[in-house]
């Protein structure tokens, strides 16, 4: 049984963060989870979030990236994100709501994110690329 099969997780706040995280993942030869900030679905929306993920995939085609949009506690945002094709949604909801969303996700190409691994939040990093490189190195990537 593996402890955590997910690749390193990085929380981004703009295109510069996405590029820094993707460059570090490419240099490390690793996949990556690009996660929005907490509750970002409310102010960013799924279509805008998807633009960041598509930019990452277009600019770094050799890096596997999983996009995770944090939907706060709103199942409506999670459903909208699934319809938009977001890889995974995070939601702070009761187990029955999470189970219902997982059923919907199973019918799409989305999933409810269950990752509880630590994440590098680039919000206050002066040098996002260096922070990402260190993050990957600390995780053996």
Per-residue model confidence (pLDDT) at position 2: 39
- CATH fold, domain 9-138, is TIM Barrel (3.20.20)
Residue bearing tokens 């409310």: 42
Cβ atoms within 10 Å, residue 5: 8
pLDDT of amino acid 117: 78
Q: What is the model's pLDDT at position 25?
A: 98
The tokens describing 76, both together, are 């409506």
Domain ranges of the chain: 9-138
Contact 16, 128 (CB under 8 A): yes
- Average pLDDT in the chain: 94
Closest to 85 measured CA to CA, from 54, 57, 116, 59: 54
Enumerate long-range contacts of 109-116, CB under 8 Å, 24 or more apart: 109/85, 110/81, 110/82, 110/85, 110/86, 111/87, 112/78, 112/88, 113/68, 113/88, 113/89, 115/4, 115/6, 115/9, 115/33, 115/68, 115/88
pTM, two decimals, is 0.93
pLDDT of residue 1 exceeding 60: no
Residue 68 has pLDDT above 70, yes or no: yes
Give the residue from 101, 129, 126, 128 showing the smallest Cα distance to 41.
Answer: 101
């Amino acid at each position: 049984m593996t402890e955590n099969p997910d690749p390193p997780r990085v929380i981004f706040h703009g295109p510069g963060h996405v590029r820094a995280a993707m460059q570090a993942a490419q240099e490390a030869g690793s996949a990556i989870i690009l996660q929005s900030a907490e509750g970002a679905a409310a102010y960013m929306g799924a279509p805008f979030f998807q633009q960041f993920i598509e930019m990452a995939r277009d600019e770094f085609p050799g890096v596997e990236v999983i996009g995770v949009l944090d939907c706060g506690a709103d199942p409506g945002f999670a459903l909208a994100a699934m319809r938009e094709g977001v890889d995974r949604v995070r939601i702070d909801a009761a187990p029955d709501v999470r189970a219902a969303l997982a059923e919907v996700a199973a019918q799409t190409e989305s999933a409810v994110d269950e990752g509880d691994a630590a994440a590098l939040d680039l919000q206050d990093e002066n040098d996002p690329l260096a922070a990402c490189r260190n993050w990957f190195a600390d995780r053996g990537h």
